Amino acid sequence: MLVLTKIQKQYGKNAVLREINLQAANGSCVGILGGNGGGKTTLLSVLGGILRPDGGSFTYDGEELFGHEARRRALVSFSPQANPLMEELSGFDNLLLWHDRKAIERGMAEDGAITALGATAFLKKPVAKLSGGMKKRLALSIAVLRAPKILLLDEPTAALDMEGKAKFYAYLKRFTEGGGTALFVTHDFAEFAHCDQLVFLKDGILRDIPHPANQAAAEALFL
């Protein structure tokens, strides 16, 4: 079980996360909805170790991850909105910045994660010559290759074509069926069909949305 309790984060006087509470079962996908500037990226950045929280706790199966960086890194992977790629290197060499060669080769096998995301075919090309969707497939491959228990996904499908999205949803299903927990930020309401639980981030607080949600009811939350 993933449990967030009273997580807080402010930038100067701007309290973006006031009191974040969430419980997610192992093997589930939580969809996170919210307006622009609502704090979704801030929340994933705090959980992903990019930003330091001002307070609160983040536990996985009872183990505290805030302040325990090695354990957080072993259990949590973050796919940020902006791809963490070196443009002048090939896709393969970008993977090598994060993973050892054996893990990459396993990922490139027929049943591997890189192949599942549709990135294996263009790994020899320099990233600068890849399309936006190809870069996102590569960035997602970097995030998932460690086989984390918790996957933080910040608008993972924004640049993907229909095939890329279908491959990503299939990977997400495989990940949660294998016991992984995903936190999935998206602005595309239709994507919540791939989630088991929905929450809405507004005014620094997460509110539950009944699932499956109806789009009109979700839109009303923004007003």
Ligand X SMILES: Nc1ncnc2c1ncn2[C@@H]1O[C@H](COP(=O)(O)OP(=O)(O)OP(=O)(O)O)[C@@H](O)[C@H]1O
153 belongs to the binding site for ligand X (CB under 6 A): no
For ligand X, the closer of residues 79 and 94 by Cβ is: 79
Peptide bond just before 212 cis, omega within 30 deg: yes
Distance CA 204, CA 190 (A): 24
Distance CA 40, CA 45 (A): 9
Distance CA 218, CA 189 (A): 9
Closest approach of Cβ 80 to ligand X, in Å? 10
Size of the site for ligand X (CB under 6 A): 11
Closest approach of Cβ 39 to ligand X, in Å? 4
Task: Say if residues 22 and 56 touch (Cβ distance below 8 Å).
Answer: no
Under rule CB under 6 A, which residues in 30-69 are in contact with ligand X? 34, 36-42
Closest approach of Cβ 215 to ligand X, in Å? 18
For ligand X, the closer of residues 173 and 207 by Cβ is: 207
Alpha-carbon torsion (210, 214, 216, 219), positive or negative: positive
Residue numbers at the binding site for ligand X (CB under 6 A): 11, 14, 16, 34, 36-42
